[in-house]
Amino acid sequence: MLAAFTVAVLCLCTWAYISSKRSGDGVDRELENLGSPRLAPRLEGKAVICGGGISGLLAAKTCLTHFQTVVLIDPEFSKSLSGGPKSRVMQYHSFHLYLFLFVKGLSRLWPSFEQKAREIGWQSLYLSQPSHFLDGTYVKSLMEGKAPFLGFRRGTLETLLDSLLVDELAEEEKRRLTIIEGTVRGVRRTSEGIAILSIYGKGIDEKSFELDNIDLVIGGALQAPTLHTM
């Protein structure tokens, strides 16, 4: 009974190791695609990212690879870019840990990321994960050969990504990116509700804006009030 249990455990460990290795290889291949030029021509459309923050900045950078026009809507972009605190983000001053896959992804999107991060105080940190031997065979730790994880206050990292998005773009990309400092108030849909016709909102200057001919919407706009067009 004990022998059968031991064999079962060893088989399970072997399967888990092989699966993690295959999964890791797949993730590495996907990461290699980040920041790479699009093989096909860019989509002649407009992508709108509603809301800044870290996810909005990553979405804007990624969409520039695939769409001809990208619009990022964030009411406090300039405030964050200059190092000021955002008023709408909880835990903005808290210390956050971002794992190595996130660091690798940022480095693919912005090759200068690690250098810029070190200039403002980032020190390489690695998760402590002991290595193991399986039937005398060394099983490599998942952490070996991987990028270190990232430890920063949320505000520090977001300000860095803001500056990378603005300063590290090629001139051609800058012409295709529009940043609107404002808030989305709602969306206009077709009468069937299956397509978005436009997004409307108000800027920090109290002027209204509306964006139409949209091909992709990312962010919280889909929870905004909806007007149906007959």
Pairing assessment for the beta strands 150-153 and 67-73 based on DSSP bridges: unpaired
How confident is the model at residue 221, as a pLDDT? Answer: 58
3-state helix, strand, coil in the chain (%, to 5): 40, 30, 30
CA distances from 60 to 40, 135, 183, 192, 225 (A): 19, 48, 16, 29, 23
Domains within the chain, CATH numbers bracketed? 43-229 (3.50.50)
Per the structure block, which two tokens stand in for 221? 């706009």
Q: How far is 180 from 72, CA to CA, in rounded Å?
A: 6
Dist CA 145 CA 126 (whole Å):
11
Rounded-to-integer distance, Cα 214 and Cα 59, Å:
15
Residues of the chain with pLDDT under 50: 2-23, 230
pTM exceeds 0.85 for this model: no
Q: What is the pLDDT of residue 215?
A: 92
pLDDT of residue 116: 94
CA angle 102, 107, 110 (to 5 degrees): 125
Please give the structure tokens belonging to residue 112.
């200068």
What is the predicted pLDDT for the residue at 224?
Answer: 55
Q: What is the pLDDT of residue 101?
A: 82
Q: What angle do CA 189, 194, 200 make, to 5 degrees?
A: 25
pLDDT of residue 12: 46
Buried b (16+ CB within 10 A) or exposed e, 154-168: bbbbbbbbbebbeeb
The pLDDT value recorded for residue 117 is 92
